[in-house]
Structure 1
Amino acid sequence: MKNAPQAPKTNTHAERFIRSVHAECTDRLLIHNEQHTRRVLAEYAEHHNSARPHRALQLRAPADNPNVIPFPAQHVQRHNLLRGLIHEYSDTS
C-alpha cells in the first residue's frame, strides 16, 4: 500500500494502533462474530483515544488537561472495560 506524499507517516500510526489493539485487546478475547468485533473495537478505540496514557504526551491521556498537574488522589476508583480486560482509574476526590 502506498502512502500519500503529504503524509508519509500515516502507515506508521495505523500500524502502531493495530499492534496495540492486538496486544491489549483482541489477543486476549474470544471474538464471536462481526458484531462482537465491532463492539469490542469501538470500546477499545474510545479507551485508546481518551484514557490510555501515550508516550508522545509524556504518559498522559489525550483527554487530560495539560494545565493540571496530577497529585496523588485520596480515593481511587477502578472502572473495568471489556469485562475486566482493561482497567481505568480515576480519583473521586
Structure 2
Amino acid sequence: MIVSLLYKVTRKLLTVPLVLLRRGTAKDAELLVLRHEIAVLRRQLTGPVRFEPADRFWFAVLSALIPRRHWLKVFPVAPGTVLAWHRRFIAAKWDYTARRGTGRPP
C-alpha cells in the first residue's frame, strides 16, 4: 500500500510544477481537485465514494493552494474533513512509534 501511495503521489506531483508556473494558481489547483474527483468517481461507478489514502493526501496538498472561502465549492467533502486529513498526515509524520521499542528499556 505504501509503494502504491508513493507511486501515485509522485505521479501527481510531476504535474504540480506545470500548474505552479502559470498565473492563477488557485484556479488551476481547483481544476486539479475537480479532475481528481472525477477520476475517483469514474473508478467507483457503483456504490458509495471511498477516497483512498492517496486521494486524501492529494486533496490535503491542494487545499494549501486554494483560498478557504472557496473550499465549499471545490472539494467533494466538508472543509473540516480536509483539515482532519491534513492533521492525520502531519501527525503520522511526527509519530515515532516505529522507533520505540516494546517493553522496558535496558
In the superposition, the TM-score normalised over structure 1's length comes to: 0.32
Flag the structure with higher strand content. Answer: 1
What is the TM-score normalised by the length of structure 2? 0.29
More helix by share: 2
